[in-house]
Amino acid sequence: MNTTRNWIILTAFTIVAFLATKWLADYQDKKNTISEPTVHFDIDDIKQRGTLRVILEYNSIGYFIYKGQRLGFDYELMQQLAQALGVKLELIVPKEGESPFNLLNEGKGDIIGNGFLSNQKIKHQIAITNPYRDIEQVVVQRNKNPIINNPSNKAATDTLIRSIRDLENKIIYVSENSIYYQHLKELSDSNGINLDVRILPDGRTTDDIIEAVANGEIDYTIANKDIALVNQSYFENLDVNTIIGKKEGLHWAVRKNSPELLQFINRWITQFEKEKTYSNLYFKYFNENKHIQFGYNEEAELQQGMISHYDAIIQQYAKKMHWDWRLIAAIIYQESKFNPNARSWCGAQGLMQLMPGTARQVGVSTSQVYNPSNNIKGGTDYLKQLEDIWKDIPDFTQRIKFILASYNAGPGHVQDAARLAAKNGYPKDRWDGSVEYFMLYKSNPRFYRDPVVKYGYCRGQEPFNYVRNIINKYFDYQSKINNNTAQFADNLRLEQVAPVAFEGIEGAYNPTQGLIARNAKRVLFMSNKLFEENNELIPRDEGRNPFDKPKNELFVRKDNADSDSGNRLFQNKQTLFQQNNGSGLTIKPNHKINELTPRK
């Protein structure tokens, strides 16, 4: 009796504690939430002010800065919307801890420009627009997929996953606390399949995990199709065609007391989706290959001592800036493969891939940007500007690497990485083993939202690889091509530096050790098995498996299997398991019997 009473008291206490905790969390959430607008500002006020204030967060789809230029699918859509309103675009980027919904209701922004899914929790705060595009979740895998997690040591190749059932007993990696984990659980339950899911901690992003698939580090992950498509445009070996979820609409948000603005945006969405500009933007971010595909053929025969047909022009401008012309040639090879008509997905042009803004800055007109001489002059002039930015770095080799990274990603992102390095105890004036790794961290929200960071998200793997590729190409050219055009002092010679190991930051993912840490947690969804396979229970009747369910019951009596045994979940265990001299169930050797937990 006392035991029963204690269980009742403990259960009641647990329920009360849970409800109290939930109430406190809801109260704190509501306390920090501005549910009603504090200003009255609609479309006429916006036109009178002359600017549309758009709240946009940094990420690989919404908004980012690349080569000094503002880019992002949502950002460019907001540009089109502002143009339709006849006003200028003004960006509001939330700081760490700031709620975009609060910024909206406080009047600091007019619209939230990052797409989000509709749910009841946020509908009481804001008014949502009609969906401006749909998303669905897909399996991310390689086109030719060698099995990495193969039980045998023999090489094997998997066929491509084409349905959720093909994922049964495959190892799938997702980030901790992501929407993908819950989605996989729902799919496991609804389809009755076993999914071996591994949880990656330390805030690793979906982009990081997809890159690990492309690099052959892991086999499978799932992602929203738009994120998967962006990454496929960088990694041609990815397959993102297997859909495992229904389509859901993405929306923008305005204040509840801005009905005219909401009505205008909804009409604009309906019309703009039909225009070619929308399809061009979608292709630019989600389909267009991010690499230069045509250009210099390395197999083409050139005269001995030549690198390209533009060597004389390269030597002319390299001499003016006191650089080894073979280094400029290595940059051009990396940028355009010596294709003078090359144009990248983001609008960079010519041999040295000058961005439109950079070309104007160094005096190269639109009509001359594809002219090899003008383009190389503009590119070397820009390199001289970058050299001035990093003139305080004493070591020439390290200074060159800062300049190269800045040429690729823009000096702002490199300065951010240097500040992150200094904050975490690494030298800010050394690229190798220090700042280069903080460039990698600039794709991680934990770092690009740090207060010392001014330029937000950056796909850091690109400048990280860019510097290494150019330096390797330069030393390859140096070994094959004599430099008779100039002699350099010892302090102006590039030195070969072996890759420097990175100690990492406590509590953060170390990019030098590969994505998959050994402590990745495993969660095995067992939708149609009650117990782990290594904890088998011993049935009384050896000739019959008591877990075969002839009806909807989980367990049935042996002597009454065909009768209606009611809704009870467990029945007389003495008839189910063999007796052990009258002392209860027989424990299987070397195994512990778990507590039986009924299925939900």
Contacts of 382 (CB under 8 A, 6+ apart): 354, 358, 361, 362, 407
Report d(CA 564, CA 111) in Å as an integer.
Answer: 60
For the chain, what is the radius of gyration of the CA atoms? Answer: 30
Phi, psi of 154 (to 5 degrees): -75, 145
Report d(CA 196, CA 188) in Å as an integer.
Answer: 10
Contact (Cβ atoms closer than 8 angstroms) between residue 207 and residue 540: no
Report d(CA 253, CA 34) in Å as an integer.
Answer: 14
Report d(CA 167, CA 156) in Å as an integer.
Answer: 17
Contacts of 246 (CB under 8 A, 6+ apart): 136
Report d(CA 209, CA 207) in Å as an integer.
Answer: 6
Report d(CA 140, CA 157) in Å as an integer.
Answer: 16
Pairing relationship of beta strands 51-55 and 88-92 according to DSSP bridges: parallel
Chain position carrying tokens 């055009």:
485
- Active-site residue among 76, 211, 335, 436? 335
Distances (CA, A) of 245 to 117, 175, 224, 276, 401: 14, 18, 10, 28, 44
Total residue length of the chain: 600
Whether 335 is catalytic: yes
**Helices then strands, each counted (H, E), the chain:** 20, 16
Contact (Cβ atoms closer than 8 angstroms) between residue 382 and residue 358: yes
Contacts of 39 (CB under 8 A, 6+ apart): 106, 107, 255
Q: What is the token pair recorded at 564?
A: 């209606």
Identify the three-state secondary structure at position 354: strand
Contacts of 591 (CB under 8 A, 6+ apart): 534, 535, 536
Whether the CA torsion 225, 227, 229, 235 is positive or negative: it is negative
Q: Active-site residue numbers?
A: 335
